[in-house]
């Protein structure tokens, strides 16, 4: 690889990191356990297993359903909502194993607009979210 190209690659990565939300850089298409269905995972991890109860036309999760995830076989959480081409879209409710809850609007798989996050200790954040 020429020296100039070797210098440009790290610069390109830095520019993309500055322009894109962190989750967009990490997002990856993953296959739902036991099927050929795929969904987009904002926090990919090789220990994670994903299940989807909804339809899967053209190989992507679509329509209403429940998406749940486990780490090393241990249930960690679920989201009830609608997927469009494998990403959450519209109103959804997320419940984590530790008792956290998030109810809000999703766009392209990210929380966008009004949402409420409740922690197990009773703390609540209710307000505007952007690309989270």
124 sits in which H/E element: strand 124-129
Q: What pLDDT is attached to residue 8? A: 38
Please state the rounded mean pLDDT for residues 85-110: 96
Three-state helix/strand/coil letters over 59-75: HECEEEEEEEEEECCEE
Determine the 3-state secondary structure of 9 from DSSP.
Answer: helix
Read off the pLDDT of residues 44-58 as tens digits, 9 standing for 90 and up. 999 999 999 999 999
- Share the mean pLDDT of the chain: 85
* Pairwise CA distance, residues 115 & 36, whole Å: 32
Distance CA 117, CA 90 (A): 16
Highest mean pLDDT among 5-9, 31-35, 66-70: 66-70
- Provide the 3-class DSSP secondary structure of residue 24: helix
């Amino acid at each position: 690889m020429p020296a100039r190209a070797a210098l440009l690659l790290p610069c390109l990565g830095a520019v993309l990191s500055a322009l894109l939300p962190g989750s967009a850089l990490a997002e990856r298409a993953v296959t739902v356990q036991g099927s050929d269905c795929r969904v987009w995972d904002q926090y990919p991890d090789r220990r994670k297993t994903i299940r989807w109860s909804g339809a899967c036309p053209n190989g992507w999760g679509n329509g209403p359903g429940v998406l749940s995830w486990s780490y090393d076989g241990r249930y960690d959480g679920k989201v009830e909502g609608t997927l469009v081409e494998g990403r959450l879209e519209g109103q959804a409710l997320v419940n984590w194993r530790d008792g956290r809850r998030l109810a809000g609007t999703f766009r392209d798989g990210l929380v966008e607009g009004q949402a409420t996050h409740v922690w197990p200790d009773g703390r609540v954040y209710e307000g505007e979210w952007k690309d989270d």
